[in-house]
């Protein structure tokens, strides 16, 4: 069973991108700060800020790098993952991160302008085809993404 999560918050770091394989793949990482607000007898108050590390890949990584900046209000939808590692002192660390499926600006806090990316002239190689599902009209979409037919 997988845990999916949706968060809203502000981008708290620059988007870092790593690419390889002659730019055949890319991964982007950034942090999002979520500060819940509650209303009490004294008015609105900020609660404890929770920081999430967000990771995304392939086309989404490149689109995030081109679209998202530190301080932007965003909505992130993805799988919640636990990542563990052992540091140089032999201490095991664990953190949670979001493997993002969707990232976008939070339009309750501003406006945005969408630019559709041009498709590559060549179809992707057979090894890359496994990353996509094909809709009946021949449009390639990321797994789980619902085509709006536009």
Mean pLDDT over all residues of the chain? 80
So what's the pLDDT on residue 11? Answer: 96
Pure H helices in 68-139: 126-129
Q: Is the pLDDT of residue 122 over 60?
A: no
H or E element: which one contains 85? strand 73-86
Q: Is the pLDDT of residue 129 over 50?
A: no
Number of domains present in the structure of the chain: 1
Structural domain for 86, as ranges: 4-111
So what's the pLDDT on residue 119? Answer: 66
Q: Is there a domain that residue 139 lies in?
A: no
The label of the residue with tokens 């140089």 reads 88
Give the pLDDT band (50/70/90) at residue 31: very high
Q: Is there a domain that residue 22 lies in?
A: yes
So what's the pLDDT on residue 120? Answer: 59
Dist CA 137 CA 150 (whole Å): 11
Higher pLDDT, 27 or 124: 27
Dist CA 97 CA 95 (whole Å): 7
Kindly report, residue by residue over 73-98, the tens digit of the pLDDT. 999 999 999 889 999 999 999 988 99
Q: Is the pLDDT of residue 143 over 70?
A: no
Q: Is there a domain that residue 135 lies in?
A: no
Q: Is the pLDDT of residue 141 over 70?
A: no
So what's the pLDDT on residue 92? Answer: 94
Contact 135, 147 (CB under 8 A): yes
Task: Output the CA–CA distances (angstroms, integers) from residue 143 to 20, 88, 101, 134, in the order listed.
Answer: 22, 38, 9, 9
Q: Is there a domain that residue 126 lies in?
A: no
Q: Is there a domain that residue 121 lies in?
A: no
Q: Is there a domain that residue 150 lies in?
A: no
Residue 77 CB contacts under 8 Å (≥ 6 apart), including other chains: 4, 5, 6, 100, 101, 102, 103
> Which residues are 103's β-sheet partners?
76
Q: Is there a domain that residue 131 lies in?
A: no
Per-residue pLDDT, averaged over 118-129, amounts to 53
Q: Which CATH number goes with the domain that contains 42?
A: 2.40.50.140
Q: Is there a domain that residue 132 lies in?
A: no
């Amino acid at each position: 069973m997988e845990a999916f999560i949706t968060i809203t918050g502000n981008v708290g770091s620059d988007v870092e991108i790593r690419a390889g394989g002659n730019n055949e793949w890319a991964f982007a990482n950034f942090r999002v700060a979520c500060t819940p607000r509650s209303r009490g007898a004294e008015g609105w108050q900020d609660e404890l800020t929770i920081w999430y590390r967000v990771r995304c890949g392939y086309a989404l990584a490149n689109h995030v790098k081109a679209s998202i900046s530190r301080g932007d209000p965003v909505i992130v939808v993805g799988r919640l993952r636990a990542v563990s590692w052992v540091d140089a002192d032999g201490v095991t660390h664990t953190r949670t991160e979001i493997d993002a499926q969707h990232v976008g600006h939070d339009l309750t806090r501003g406006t945005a302008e969408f630019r559709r990316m041009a498709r590559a002239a060549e179809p992707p190689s057979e090894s890359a085809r496994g990353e996509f599902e094909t809709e009946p009209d021949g449009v390639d979409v990321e797994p789980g993404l619902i085509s709006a037919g536009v």
